[in-house]
Amino acid sequence: MTDTVTGAAKTDYSATLFLPKTDFPMRAGLPQREPDWLKRWEDMDIYALQREQAKDRPLFTIHDGPPYANGNIHIGHALNKTLKDLVSRSMQMLGFNSAYVPGWDCHGLPIEWKIEEQYRAKGKDKNDIPVVEFRQECRTFAEQWVDVQREEFKRLGILGEWDNPYLTMSFDAEAQIARELMKVATSGQLYRGSKPVMWSVVERTALAEAEIEYADIESDIIWVKFPVHSGGGDIKSGAFRDLNASVVIWTTTPWTIPANRAISFSSKIAYGLYEIIKAPEGNWASVGEKYILADKLAAETFAKAKVEEFVRIGDIDPGHITLCFHPLRGLSNGYQFAVPLLDGDHVTDDIGTGFVHTAPGHGLDDFEIWINSIRLLADKGISSEVPYVVGDDGFYTKDAPGLGPDAEGGPARVIDDNGKKGDANNRVIAALAERNAMVARGRVKHSYPHSWRSKKPVIFRNTPQWFVYMDRDIMGAAGDTLRHRMLNAIDVTKFYPPAGQNRLRAMIADRPDWVLSRQRAWGVPITVFVNKATKEILKDEVVNHRIADAFKAEGADAWYKDGAAQRFLGDAYKADDYEMIRDVLDVWFDSGSTHAFVLRNKQKWPHLKFPASMYLEGSDQHRGWFHSSLLESCATNGHAPYESVLTHGFTMDGEGRKMSKSLSNTVAPQDIIKQYGADILRLWVASSDYSEDLRLGKEIIQTIVDSYRKLRNSLRWLLGNLAHYDAKDAVNAKDMPELEQVILHRLAQLDTQVRTAYKEYDYRKIVTLLTNFMNIELSAFYFDIRKDALYCEPISSLKRKSALTALNHLFDCLTAWLAPILVFTMEEVWLERHPGDGSSVHLRLFPEVPAHWLNADLAAKWQLIRAVRRVVTGSLEIERCEKRIGSSLEAAPKVFIVDPRYLAALDGQDLAEIAITSAISIETREGPAEAFRLDDVAGIAVMPAMAQGKRCARSWKMLPEVGTDPEYPDVSLRDAQALRERAAAGL
């Protein structure tokens, strides 16, 4: 029974200690347990409780950009929705009423396409199905995916109005979208223009790029002369104003010649004037003709033209050639217009002649340079109108004189109903040859766009479209253009990160007029009637109301029902006098209008405000939703629908590469949830710099999992100790030991830092701040030091009660601060101490932290104390390496201090307790040379020494006093006192 030298205790006092006591599991089991919390929140309807609780608070509205309702969610969706949830939840906890209404984009091509695919699989044809029926199938398809995505989003822990979301296809929405369109029309911002689109003659429909596949095709290729009409000097060997020269172009689509309106050249290419010296009799390119060609391509062109000898007369700057004649000039008295030369970057001298035949109705490059040259054309007195040379059936129209309906034998055709090449090319070539406009012809095999469905070639074809003016004065107000409104709106919008502002501004500054129309079925129709005689859009509020009311009751299908035109026009107009537009709206108009049918619908969503506090999407949405919403709202409201815009990057793989199925480096949110849990995914989002592209891979997830574990364990220890806390033992800050006061000071500092970071949407700062605090200051310092007091001190101990009180404050703050991020774990932690049906960490605000906890002087003083501590623990490490000690409690070092600042700081402090040694002696003199020192802590030296006395069997400290208490001879006096108190309390 007698303890000897080492004082090794035989009695096990652990039952007499206040050891951590908790059922909170060390391992989270998130994948299994998270669904339970979700069910709990749903059962208590926590979203409604939040609204009720916050009903008198200022509104904060993060407006959901609608994902497209097809397919499962991917990691990008998860990132986006999680960020929105972080914003929404933190704003709620900062004292706002932060409602979140999720939405879905439901109209559009991809869904339409899926339905068509199903038809194809069943051998049916879309064109045989009534439009209303087809639209109904699209609707059902979208509904199914809304349900799937809703469950996937909820599983991420996203809190929102899931049972009352918005859908762009709801009748309400369709009605409001039509109203918005009619607002744009009525205010004179809508006009009908035209634009070349990919057109399938076989299917009689416009096609999207996604519906196009490329295949080799053999095309006719022709070289054509455009006689120079007039020009300036600048040629070395003399003026060419009156010389009989032609610009030579090259094209693989001879049928577009009637649509030619310009020739493009490049000022970066060298051109020359050439004369033919020798050529075969009867050759198209005959002796004496003069051609203008890119120097690099002249020889090749002459070879194709069978020219045997030619001479270069001199340099030519095509910029000085004002105009050319059209090569079909005079055919059926048509083509009398002048053909200008335009300088364009898309022109190269790799192939062809260095001149590009430009038919603005049949190519995007052509169209763009044409539209961009409107001012130049006006200066030259040339009409900028784009002709409709080819009809939807592939036949030439009256805009192609001599080849269209006026031609002998009827109009020529580009492509027939079976997708075969028509007679257009041959007839054009014949007409050109007849007018001596041909230089050469040939054939070429090249890649050409085909319809994905019919596998037949498509053509670029000018098609009537509806546009919104960017630069026309709205309602006659001088300078009040849509572009101007948008640029102003951008200036008063806050961007996170700030670079987004420039990006959006540059896009708005550059963008052409908004093309609203799509030749599609699944969308909101452009609810416009055009007077057949005057071509004017009907502007009648009564008609407009009739349309909107019908849409609200029956959906936009009303537009497609029999007799719809007369129904909407009413008695005042005759349906026969009006063209009812069959195009649907660009889906960007739908989603661009969400602010109108969601934020302003106070009946349905009373907790939302307009304009929204924030729009938050991926950086691609500068061109997308941010852009279209700004367009729509500026057109109809004159200002932005948002006060701020937050953008995030894209999710890359672990190496920073784009995720793609072909690289098989994709990470599915569903897999992460299944394996690790949604809180891990959320912690990844919060830890990342979302302003750039985010990386996600195995190693990164493991890092996140590790830091989650560490954090969880610290909270678990907190919970275990707080099991012994009783609120009636709470200690006021001013009565606490300095160590506790320092912790409270840190809490007060963090309170400001955390709130500021949340207000700035800087989540990674919060994660860094809190993990550093918890790891360095709590786990490795405060908790480590206070274990002794918490476990061993007597029941009555002020130190222990103070520590428990501090732990309670820590608990309150940390659980709240982390709640928006670790929504499941913080609920679990919170309920461990505050169970109850109505209890939830998510019904809390960030706690009020008393400002008087701040104590900078004390904190500075403890910086000095911690510096001394570092020297002590450093010296202990040497002893440990030398195997002289194991536990730090075996040591009782000597600390030499001369610096009065350190001495003052340590005055009244128990350095042994702070350094977790059994004893420490401080000597106010220079330490011996062999003493342990740290480079960055001048004036502190430590000499090792073994602790004296026996080891206390309860606290494991080694103290001379152990053995002096006759009643408890194997423990220290403090522990003896603790045991007496326990006995007295009947424990």
Partner RNA sequence: UGGCCCGUAGCUCAGUUGGUUAGAGCGCAUGCCUGAUAAGCGUGAGGUCGGCAGUUCGAGUCUGCCCGGGCCAACCA
Q: Which of residues 16-35 bind RNA (CB under 7 A)?
A: 17, 19-20, 26-27
- 242-245 CB contacts, 8 Å cutoff, 24+ apart: 243/273, 243/290, 244/289, 244/290, 245/273, 245/290, 245/291, 245/292
771 binds RNA (CB under 7 A): yes
Q: 3-state SS of 371-425?
A: HHCHHHHHHCCCCCCCCCCECCCCEECCCCCCCCCCCCCCCCECECCCCCECCHH
Touching RNA, residues 248-307 (CB under 7 A): none
Q: Closest approach of Cβ 209 to RNA, in Å?
A: 4
Question: Judged by CB under 7 A, does residue 133 bind RNA?
Answer: no
Structure tokens at 937: 């802590």
- Could you tell me whether strands 59-63 and 612-618 are parallel, antiparallel, or unpaired per DSSP bridges? parallel
Minimum CB separation from RNA for residue 108, in Å? 3
544 forms part of the interface with RNA (CB under 7 A): no
Q: Which is nearer to RNA, 137 or 220 (CB)?
A: 137
Q: Return the range that interacts with RNA (CB under 7 A); candidates 240-248, 332-340, 479-487, 692-700.
A: 692-700
The DSSP code for 888 is: G
Q: Contact region for RNA (CB under 7 A) — 219-227, 241-249, 684-692, 727-735?
A: 684-692
3-state secondary structure of 550: helix
- Name which of 610 and 781 has its Cβ closer to RNA: 781
779 near RNA (CB under 7 A): yes
User: Does residue 783 belong to the site contacting RNA (CB under 7 A)?
Assistant: yes
What gap in Å lies between CA 653 and CA 453, rounded to an integer?
34
102 part of the interface to RNA, by CB under 7 A: no
C-beta of 881 vs 929, nearer to RNA: 881
Q: How far is the CB of 972 from RNA (least distance, A)?
A: 11
Sole window of 82-90, 132-140, 325-333, 510-518 interacting with RNA (rule: CB under 7 A): 510-518
Please name which of 189, 175, 171 lies closest in space to residue 545, comparing C-alpha atoms.
175
* Interaction of residue 220 with RNA, rule CB under 7 A: no
Separation of alpha carbons 137 and 68, rounded Å:
16
Reference 153, options 52, 97, 83; nearest CA is 83
The beta strand positions in 299-377, using DSSP E, are 309-316, 321-325, 338-343, 356-358
- What binding mask, one character per residue, do residues 59-78 give for RNA by CB under 7 A, x or -? -------xxx----------
Q: DSSP E strands: which ranges in 489-556?
A: 494-496, 514-515, 517-518, 529-531
CB of 685 to RNA, least distance (A): 9
Residue 436 Cβ vs RNA, minimum distance, rounded to whole Å:
38
Stretch that binds RNA, among 238-246, 438-446, 599-607, 613-621 (CB under 7 A): 613-621
3-state secondary structure 222-259: EEEEEEEEEECCCCCCCCCCCCCEEEEEEECCHHHHHH
* Window of 133-141, 274-282, 310-318, 614-622 that interacts with RNA by CB under 7 A: 614-622
Helix (H) or strand (E) holding 833: helix 823-833
Nearer to RNA, 530 or 575 (CB): 530
Establish if 710 lies at the interface with RNA (CB under 7 A): yes
Q: Please count the residues of this chain forming the interface with RNA, following the rule CB under 7 A.
A: 102
Q: What are the CA-CA distances from residue 536 to residues 183, 477, 819 (Å)?
A: 16, 21, 58
CA-to-CA distance for 273 and 267, rounded, in angstroms? 15
Cis-peptide, bond into residue 340, ω within 30° of zero: no
Helix ranges (H only) for 19-100 are: 30-44, 46-53, 75-93
CB atoms within 10 A of CB 728: 6
Choose, by CB under 7 A, the member of 36, 309, 706, 735 that binds RNA. 706
Please pick, from the candidates 154, 427, 622, 974, the single residue that binds RNA as defined by CB under 7 A: 622
Nearer to RNA, 4 or 14 (CB): 14
Contact status: 206 vs RNA (CB under 7 A): yes
Contact 180, 596 (CB under 8 A): yes
d(CA 447, CA 678): 47
Q: Which is nearer to RNA, 307 or 598 (CB)?
A: 598
Site residues for RNA, 517-536, by CB under 7 A, read: 517-520
Residue with smaller CB distance to RNA, 382 or 958:
958
Please report how close the Cβ of residue 792 comes to RNA at its closest, in angstroms. Answer: 6
Helix (H, G, I), strand (E, B) or coil at 24: coil
Please tell me what DSSP assigns to residue 477.
-
Cβ proximity to RNA, 283 vs 873, nearer residue: 873
- Would you count residue 792 as binding RNA (CB under 7 A)? yes
Provide CB contacts within 8 A for 555, sequence distance 6+: 169, 171, 174
Binding flag, residue 118, RNA (CB under 7 A): no
Write the binding mask 404 to 443 for RNA: x where contact by CB under 7 A, - elsewhere: ----------------------------------------
CB of 546 or CB of 982, closer to RNA: 982
Closest CA to 158 of 93, 78, 91, 104: 78
Q: Least distance from C-beta 438 to RNA, angstroms?
A: 33
User: What 3 state SS string does 570-632 have?
Assistant: CCCCCHHHEEECCCEECHHHHHHCHHHHHHCCCCCCCCCCCCEEEEEEEHHHHCCHHHHHHHH
Contacting RNA (CB under 7 A), which of 384, 397, 566, 707? 707
Contact between 247 and RNA by CB under 7 A: the answer reads no
Taking CB under 7 A as the rule, does residue 213 contact RNA?
A: no
Interface stretch with RNA, choices 90-98, 108-116, 830-838, 921-929 (CB under 7 A): 108-116
**Shortest Å, Cβ 880 to RNA:** 5
Out of 1, 4, 5, 14, the residue judged to bind RNA by CB under 7 A = 14
d(CA 910, CA 895): 13
We find the least distance from the C-beta atom of residue 321 to RNA, in angstroms, to be 25
Q: In this chain, which stretch among 90-98, 421-429, 570-578, 683-691 interacts with RNA, using CB under 7 A?
A: 683-691
Compute the least distance from the CB of residue 869 to RNA, in Å.
9
Contact residue for RNA among 373, 462, 463, 840 (CB under 7 A): 463
Could you say whether residue 713 binds RNA (CB under 7 A)? yes
CA 943, CA 928: separation in Å to the nearest integer?
Answer: 8
**Helix, strand, or coil here: 260?**
coil
Q: Pick the binder of RNA from 588, 725, 862, 902 (CB under 7 A).
A: 588
Quick one: which of 64, 116, 137, 211 contacts RNA (CB under 7 A)? 211
The structure tokens listed for 542 are 């009564």
Cβ burial, residue 936 (10 Å; 0-12/13-18/19+)? exposed
Contact pattern from residue 927 through residue 966 relative to RNA, giving x for each residue in contact according to CB under 7 A and a dash for the rest:
--------------------------xxxx----------
Amino acid letter for position 91: M
State yes or no: residue 596 binds RNA (CB under 7 A).
no
Taking CB under 7 A as the criterion, the residue among 650, 831, 866, 898 binding RNA is: 650
Residue 164 Cβ vs RNA, minimum distance, rounded to whole Å: 20
Binding mask 490-509 for RNA (x = CB under 7 A): ---------x--xx--xx--
Nearer to RNA, 95 or 654 (CB): 654
Instruction: Among 7, 13, 751, 840, indicate the residue that binds RNA (CB under 7 A).
Output: 13
**What b/e readout covers 735-745, taking b as 16+ CB neighbours within 10 angstroms?**
ebbebbbbbbb
- Region 334-393 residues binding RNA, contact defined as CB under 7 A: 345, 364
What is the 3 state secondary structure string of 100-138?
A: CCCEEECCCHHHHHHHHHHHHHCCCCHHHCCHHHHHHHH
Q: Which secondary-structure segment (H or E) carries 219? A: strand 212-231
